[in-house]
A and B are shown apart, each in its own frame.
Chain A
Amino acid sequence: MTETTVHTHAAPTTKAAGHAQTHQQHPIGLYLVVWLLLFVLSTFSYLVDYVGLQGYLRWSLILLFMVLKAGLIVAIFMHMAWERLALIYAILLPPLLVLVFVTLMVSESHYVLFTRLTFFGAAP
């Protein structure tokens, strides 16, 4: 009973909702553009090393290009941009908790280094 009522409303209401319900079918051109962008971004991150940038400029550029590349792969190649929010949040939010783990281990690493320097001294 409920199923039939639901079925009559099946016509896509918004463009986004209609898109998510069909198969992930997108123009080839979009994939080629993303492909090209990934190539360019990889070249940039390689150039950061090749040119020999150092310090905060180097780290921020590496991280920027990394995040852009990862975002493009997940959003377009893996079709995350067109999935329902229920799936997007279930998959993308948990990895953020890894950052808590990173913070814990940064603190721990500082402590380990501190004890090593205190009890064993610097490099042999």
Chain B
Amino acid sequence: MSAETHSPVREPLHRPAGLAGFAADWASDQRTFKNVSWGKAMMWIFLLSDTFVFGCFLIAYMSARMSTAVPWPNPSEVFALHIGGTDVPLILIAIMTFVLITSSGTMAMAVNFGYRRDRKKTALLMVLTALFGATFVGMQAFEWTKLITEGVRPWGNPWGAPQFGSTFFMITGFHGTHVSIGVIFLLIIARKVWRGDFDTERRGFFTSRRGQYEIVEITGLYWHFVDLVWVFIFAFFYLW
């Protein structure tokens, strides 16, 4: 029975589900995150640490905005674009949001095809995700350029509280860096998938040794997190 179900993937342990399982997992002197590979658990723990980093940035922004005696610029007007004779509020940010959400959708589908071992579709969807990510960074570069020409600096801006400039460059800059790293990460893994590294069990940087496509899911976790952070930045920085 156990011999015929044997596979290169480690056989999952039978544990109770729900709260009893939670208690059993944490109380045991074994691995706590049973049936969760180290790669995935460590990516989650990295993302938890990144949550605190972005959490601190957003709290710093909140404190700056709440404690300034000088009026805060109206983001709706600051990020408006002049299209067809009228100012459309926040339109660039809205398009950036849709691009990032779409990239999250293509990434989720890439993970799906990865587990089906459909190399071509997985690699293509990952490259598509990277392209959406690069588009996002490109639009952010446009947004930065526009604001810099209007006189926004880390120490000031033409419309009021100088902290607006510092928090804007800090938060969007850090998020843009995450997106850029994600694009590079996606392209590296997409190349490995395309080449068939996970079928030939080729060893190398970020490559599982057991021919698993789980690294696609782990890359996806990082990518969805970048999208997740943008949800909060969109709400707190641009809409608030």
**Do A106 and B239 touch across chains, with their CB atoms under 8 A apart?**
no
Contacts of B97 in A (CB 8 A): 42, 46
**Do B13 and A84 touch across chains, with their CB atoms under 8 A apart?**
no
Contacts of B238 in A (CB 8 A): 49
Residue of A nearest to B90 (CB): A49
**Do A13 and B112 touch across chains, with their CB atoms under 8 A apart?**
no
**Do A6 and B224 touch across chains, with their CB atoms under 8 A apart?**
no
Q: Give the contact stretch, choosing among B47-55, B139-147, B181-189, B201-209.
A: B47-55
**Do A31 and B62 touch across chains, with their CB atoms under 8 A apart?**
no
**Do B71 and A46 touch across chains, with their CB atoms under 8 A apart?**
no
| Contact residues, A7-63 vs B (CB, 8 A) | 7-10, 13-14, 16-17, 20-21, 23-26, 28, 31-32, 34-35, 38-39, 42, 45-46, 48-50, 59, 62-63
Interface of A is mostly: helix
Contacts of A10 in B (CB 8 A): 2, 5, 11-14
Residue of B nearest to A58 (CB): B239
Give the docked Cα–Cα distance between A14 and B16 (Å): 9
Contacts of A28 in B (CB 8 A): 109, 112
Task: Count how many chain B residues have C-beta atoms less than 8 Å from C-beta atoms of the other chain.
Answer: 70
Chain B 157-187 interface 0/1 with A at a Cβ cutoff of 8 Å (1 = within): 0000000000000000000000000000000
Give the docked Cα–Cα distance between A8 and B90 (Å): 59
The listed residue with most B CB atoms (<10 A of its CB), out of A20, A59, A77, A85, is: A77
Chain B 1-31 interface 0/1 with A at a Cβ cutoff of 8 Å (1 = within): 1100100000111110111011001100000
Task: Count how many chain A residues have C-beta atoms less than 8 Å from C-beta atoms of the other chain.
Answer: 69
**Do A105 and B105 touch across chains, with their CB atoms under 8 A apart?**
no
| B115 at the binding interface (Cβ < 8 Å) | yes
**Do A85 and B232 touch across chains, with their CB atoms under 8 A apart?**
no
Give the docked Cα–Cα distance between A48 and B109 (Å): 30
Give the docked Cα–Cα distance between A17 and B25 (Å): 14
**Do A65 and B235 touch across chains, with their CB atoms under 8 A apart?**
yes
**Do B59 and A102 touch across chains, with their CB atoms under 8 A apart?**
yes
**Do B104 and A77 touch across chains, with their CB atoms under 8 A apart?**
yes
Given known A26-B112, A65-B235, A91-B44, contact A85–B66 (CB-CB < 8 A): no
Give the docked Cα–Cα distance between A13 and B56 (Å): 42
| B78 at the binding interface (Cβ < 8 Å) | no
Contacts of A90 in B (CB 8 A): 32-33, 44, 48
**Do A98 and B112 touch across chains, with their CB atoms under 8 A apart?**
no
Residue of B nearest to A76 (CB): B108
Given known A24-B217, A87-B33, contact A66–B232 (CB-CB < 8 A): yes
Contacts of B217 in A (CB 8 A): 23-24, 79
Contacts of B19 in A (CB 8 A): 85
Give the docked Cα–Cα distance between A59 and B236 (Å): 10
* Contacts A/B (CB < 8 Å), 28 sampled: A8-B1, A10-B12, A10-B13, A13-B17, A21-B12, A34-B108, A42-B234, A45-B234, A45-B239, A49-B89, A49-B238, A66-B231, A66-B235, A78-B225, A79-B217, A84-B15, A84-B33, A85-B25, A94-B48, A95-B55, A101-B55, A101-B59, A106-B66, A109-B62, A109-B63, A110-B66, A110-B67, A116-B67
